[in-house]
């Protein structure tokens, strides 16, 4: 499979998790109950699937090649924008993790921080994915040389081993399906 197709398929899994995040956040809003275990699974998914596994390939391979080949206007414009959004996502994920700890320590108002950071993350990532799917990736497909596409595809293929793709996909799709099932019970 081509690199961009792989990234777009991963987007579909991330978008499904964003729906779970919104459902579990609404549940706190409605009932004041926090599904702690589920939120820790979400953090695991965000950090290891959405960030390390997915954003890692964008940052280290695709965006790196686009920046090198398409020049400073692309590197300092759209690519910089995408990298900044990845960083902002990391901030919301860390804040969410901290809020869960604060709640465990008895801070009632941490519930508010859980909702705010979870929803901010979901909103940011939904917009981010839309930009990549409709503009950044399409631009890369059209503008990069054929040999660069081949090189990117080869590097992506190598990450199947270095990032243990089969295990990672299986583990995180499993978590996603489990949480989707849980959401149906609410
Ligand atoms: Fe991205
Ligand atoms: Fe992405």
pLDDT of residue 71: 94
Please tell me whether residue 51 adopts helix, strand or coil conformation: helix
Q: Give the sign of the dihedral formed by CA 48, CA 50, CA 53, CA 59.
A: negative
Sort 185 into a burial class: Cβ within 10 Å, 0-12 / 13-18 / 19+: exposed
pLDDT of residue 140: 96
Distance 132 CA to ligand 1 centre (A): 7
pLDDT of residue 182: 98
Distance 105 CA to ligand 2 centre (A): 34
Average confidence (pLDDT) per 10 residues, the chain, 186 residues: 94 98 98 98 98 98 97 96 98 98 98 98 98 97 96 96 96 98 97
Distance 29 CA to ligand 1 centre (A): 29
Distance 144 CA to ligand 1 centre (A): 18
Distance 86 CA to ligand 1 centre (A): 6
Domain spans of the chain, in order of start: 3-184
Distance 87 CA to ligand 1 centre (A): 10
Beta strands in 11-164 (DSSP E): none
CATH node for 3-184? 1.20.120.520
| 111-143: burial string, b at 16+ Cβ within 10 Å, e else | bebbbebbbbbbebbeebbeebbeebbeebeee
């Amino acid at each position: 499979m081509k690199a961009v197709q792989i990234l777009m398929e991963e987007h579909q899994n991330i978008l499904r998790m964003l729906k779970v995040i919104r459902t579990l956040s609404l549940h706190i809003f409605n009932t004041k109950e926090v599904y702690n275990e589920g939120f820790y699974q979400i953090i695991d998914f965000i950090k290891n699937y959405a960030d390390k596994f997915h954003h890692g390939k964008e940052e280290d391979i695709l965006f790196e090649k686009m920046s090198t080949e398409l020049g400073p206007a692309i590197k300092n414009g759209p690519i910089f924008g995408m990298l900044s959004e990845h960083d902002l996502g990391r901030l919301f994920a860390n804040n969410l993790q901290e809020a869960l700890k604060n709640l465990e320590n008895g801070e009632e108002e941490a519930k508010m921080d859980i909702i705010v950071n979870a929803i901010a993350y979901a909103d940011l990532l939904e917009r981010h994915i839309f930009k990549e799917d409709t503009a950044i990736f399409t631009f890369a497909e059209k503008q990069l040389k054929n040999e660069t596409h081949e090189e990117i595809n080869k590097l992506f293929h190598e990450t199947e081993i270095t990032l243990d793709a089969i295990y990672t996909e299986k583990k995180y799709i499993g978590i996603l399906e489990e949480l989707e099932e849980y959401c149906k019970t609410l």
